[in-house]
Amino acid sequence: MISTTPPPETHPLVPLEDVDVPAWPERAALKMAALRLRTLFTGSNQRPFIAEDRLNDSVELFSDMATPAFCEPLLAELDETLASWATNPTPKQWIRPLVLPPCDEHDLLSRWAQRHHHEVLTPPTRDDLLIDTPEQTLDLSGDGVLVIPQLEAWFLRHRCGLGMVRTLLTTLAGLKRHCVIGCNSWAWAFLCKAVDAHLILPEPLTFEPFDEPRLRRWLADIARQQADEGIRFRLSRNGKNVFALNRKGRPREKYFETLAARSRGIAWVAWHLWQRSLKKANDDADNDLSEDDQQTLWVVALEEFSLPGSDGTQALLILQALLIHGSLSARELESVLPDPGFQGMHHALHRAGFIGERDGRYYCRASAYPAIRDGLATAGFPLDSY
């Protein structure tokens, strides 16, 4: 049934200003509004942040997430956008800023740079960022394309933590060398305010958000590549094939339209949500092996979870800091938060599945991003523009 879905197409990157996040299908929007009202009247403070069953039980079918195949469509889009520019000896713009959606756990731009053997500028350590040395200089001279994969690694939201990024941007402003700068959308929003990044650098590009057709094709393609032959993906709600198309070639189910809206068109967020929605029945009879020897994976409905808007200020401040910086150690986190007394909250967020931890550094998990963004928006925090 997956084979009826055409393979994905590549889309060149688009200006950040033109980003149009996929809209909710009417029925899903109504359901979400009803759920939020119910949450409002029943009191959300008693509930866990995310239901535990959602976090503990997922199919390990596509566990090989580190393979480049996962990023392949996005790398192809980077190639399509940057290939001719990178080989142009006199480009109109030497600098190409790319604003990437948040929760990029796979460091996409570094992968792209490695694949093309471009020079990657190593960021300073976070401790170095806090050393106040006004006469800092950077030597960015050289040949070929220079890649700065994560601009968010060049500052710390601390009163002494902006010097290095100012120096970097000043140096870049006069640079006559191909340079690709990646920055996550939350850091970009902050840097535009803090150091006028939008005035110093040219207009940034970003991925075109994954809408329903694109998302369906992309996930079908991954399923074709990585899943065993003969697996069917059926909605647990009605048993229908989630990839099925009608006679007009349109999807029969609204699942991917809802997924596109919930993930805000961010590929990796959608992928994580998709992975979490796949369940395997415990009973072999429910796996439906009898019919054409196909195994069934059940796709459960995407549920709406939200952070408490008014009483979760500590949690929200931590999540905002992590989104802006990409990842932070516990000590760095303490240095960018306003008040003392946050020691316990990041453990609670980690336990609840909102943040992950790798090599002693905390980061917002892609699967929790929709809930995190909703929580921050509800509480009035400044948001990114993706």
Do 287 and 296 contact (CB within 8 A), yes or no? yes
Stretch touching another protein by CB under 8 A, among 68-76, 238-246, 259-267, 331-339? 331-339
Footprint on residues 229-268 left by another protein (CB under 8 A): none
- Pick from 92, 117, 159, 358: which binds another protein (CB under 8 A)? 159
- Report CA Rg, the chain: 22
Q: Is 193 near another protein (CB under 8 A)?
A: yes
- Pick from 319, 336, 355, 366: which binds another protein (CB under 8 A)? 336
Sequence letter at residue 315? A
In the block, which residue shows the tokens 């866990």?
48
- Pick from 241, 254, 309, 357: which binds another protein (CB under 8 A)? 309
- Pick from 27, 38, 47, 158: which binds another protein (CB under 8 A)? 158
For the bound state, the minimum distance from the C-beta of residue 313 to another protein, rounded and expressed in Å, comes to 8
Distance CA 99, CA 186 (A): 9
For the bound state, the minimum distance from the C-beta of residue 337 to another protein, rounded and expressed in Å, comes to 6
For the bound state, the minimum distance from the C-beta of residue 348 to another protein, rounded and expressed in Å, comes to 18
Q: H/E/C letters for each residue in 298-345?
A: EECCCCCCCCCCCCCHHHHHHHHHHHHHCCEEHHHHHHHCCCCCCCCH
For the bound state, the minimum distance from the C-beta of residue 339 to another protein, rounded and expressed in Å, comes to 7
Q: Is 190 near another protein (CB under 8 A)?
A: yes
For the bound state, the minimum distance from the C-beta of residue 149 to another protein, rounded and expressed in Å, comes to 23
What letters, b where the CB count within 10 A reaches 16 and e where it falls short, cover 25-47?
Answer: beebeebbeeeeeebeeeebeee
Distance CA 117, CA 6 (A): 32
Give 297's DSSP letter: E
Q: Is 381 near another protein (CB under 8 A)?
A: yes
Binding residues for another protein, rule: CB under 8 A, are 40, 132, 157-162, 189-190, 192-194, 309-310, 317, 320-321, 336-339, 377-382
